[in-house]
């Protein structure tokens, strides 16, 4: 599929999609259009005619085999270049649709690009690259739009070329530059039969993965992923929403507990301690994204941007 199938319906923002410096395009329900460029949000004069965006989104959804109407008012999909489109329509929002396009401007970034942009230091880059190559299980944590997917994409370059990589996402954003990659997308928001992250992860484990990359941990799949790590699947990479490295493990604990049956928090903590090797936490300040901490879960030490070791997280005896 090419943009020619979509752009006729997105003409008011065609020039924004073509820009190489704009990271995000946001069309609000009042028809105002905002962009993010250089880490700063700004309102621009572009507007859609009344009803035009409703029609455009319905047609786009149909072309991707999805449904968008009052009965199915949420849409998430990947555009032809890998960018992500998210939309909501009335009655969830008023009076017009809400549209957000996160452009895949970082598709060809390398570790050198991230260092040049001061997203991480050379020492941090070397530490993480070596950890990925040797098969450590790594969580990348941070808030929305902090660059978690970008960092994961670049770290995957360190995976040996002879390994079979299975990638699971809800909306495909990752572009893994390796010869043996199998990608699958969960189907949880369409009018067809729902296939969850957990369903896909369980299925993927039967297809001989050397590496598992999970776009984001957010639910019951946390239990399955932890089980896979504890049964010999090393080198997993995934992202998780959290406000700190410690918060990432606490959130992981919470998600695992939801699907852990009779397991106690102490049992879950022990499994996390034995499975997760590193947490790389990204923060965004004044439009700049940077890796603030790299936490070694075992041994318990933390490496900041200055390379100094800090205190371990979960200092309780269980982890």
Identify whether residues 91 and 115 lie together within a single domain: no
Mean pLDDT of all residues in 97-122: 88
Instruction: Please check whether residue 146 lies inside any domain of the structure.
Output: yes
Summarised one tens digit per residue, pLDDT across range 229-249 is: 887 788 999 999 999 999 999
CA 143 to chain centre: 10
Instruction: Please check whether residue 267 lies inside any domain of the structure.
Output: yes
**Burial degree of 162 (CB within 10 A; 0-12, 13-18, 19+):** exposed
| Residue 32 or residue 305, greater confidence | 32
CA distance 23 to 41: 10
Identify whether residues 152 and 194 lie together within a single domain: yes
Last residue of a domain, one of 54, 77, 102: 102
Mean pLDDT of all residues in 201-220: 87
Number of domains in the chain: 2
* 268, pLDDT greater than 80: yes
**Three-state DSSP class for residue 120:** coil
This prediction has a pTM of 0.76
Identify whether residues 146 and 285 lie together within a single domain: yes
Q: Domain with 26 in it: what CATH number?
A: 3.30.450.90
Last residue of a domain, one of 102, 125, 143: 102
Task: Please check whether residue 284 is in contact with residue 216, taking contact to mean a CB–CB distance below 8 angstroms.
Answer: no
* 188, pLDDT greater than 80: no
Q: Domain with 231 in it: what CATH number?
A: 3.40.50.300
Question: Range of 129's domain?
Answer: 111-307
Instruction: Please check whether residue 195 lies inside any domain of the structure.
Output: yes
CA angle at 97 for the pair 95 and 101, rounded to the nearest 5°: 150
Summarised one tens digit per residue, pLDDT across range 121-139 is: 999 999 999 999 999 999 9
Identify whether residues 140 and 227 lie together within a single domain: yes
Summarised one tens digit per residue, pLDDT across range 158-186 is: 999 999 999 988 766 788 889 999 988 77
DSSP secondary structure letter of residue 262 = T
Identify whether residues 130 and 222 lie together within a single domain: yes
- Report the chain's mean pLDDT, rounded to a whole number: 84
């Amino acid at each position: 599929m090419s943009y020619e199938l979509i752009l006729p319906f997105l003409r008011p923002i065609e020039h924004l999609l073509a820009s190489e410096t704009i990271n995000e395009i946001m069309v609000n329900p009042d028809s105002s259009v905002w962009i993010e460029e250089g880490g700063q949000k700004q309102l621009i004069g572009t507007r859609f005619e009344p009803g035009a965006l409703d029609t455009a989104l319905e047609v786009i959804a149909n072309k991707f085999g999805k449904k968008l109407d009052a009965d199915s008012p949420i849409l998430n999909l990947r555009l032809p270049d890998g960018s992500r489109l998210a939309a909501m329509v009335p009655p969830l929002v008023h009076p017009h649709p809400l549209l957000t396009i996160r452009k895949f401007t970082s598709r060809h970034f390398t570790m050198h690009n991230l260092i040049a942009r001061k997203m991480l230091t050379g020492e941090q880059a070397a530490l993480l690259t070596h950890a990925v190559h040797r098969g450590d299980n790594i969580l990348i944590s941070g808030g929305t739009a902090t660059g978690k997917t970008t960092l994961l994409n670049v770290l995957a370059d360190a995976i040996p070329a002879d390994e079979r990589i299975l990638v699971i996402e809800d909306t495909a954003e990752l572009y893994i530059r390796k010869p043996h990659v199998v990608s699958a997308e969960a189907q949880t928001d369409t009018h067809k039969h729902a296939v969850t992250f957990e369903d896909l992860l369980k299925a993927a484990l039967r297809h001989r993965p050397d590496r598992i990359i999970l776009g984001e941990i957010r639910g019951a799949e946390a239990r399955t992923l932890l089980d896979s790590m504890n049964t010999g699947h090393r080198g997993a990479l995934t992202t998780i929403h959290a406000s700190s490295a410690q918060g990432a493990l606490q959130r992981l604990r919470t998600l695992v507990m939801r699907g852990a049956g009779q397991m106690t928090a102490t049992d879950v903590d022990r499994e996390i301690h034995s499975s997760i090797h590193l947490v790389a936490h990204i923060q965004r300040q004044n439009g700049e994204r940077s890796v603030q901490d790299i936490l070694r879960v075992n041994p318990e030490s933390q490496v900041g941007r200055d390379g100094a070791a800090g205190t371990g997280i979960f200092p309780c005896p269980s982890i």
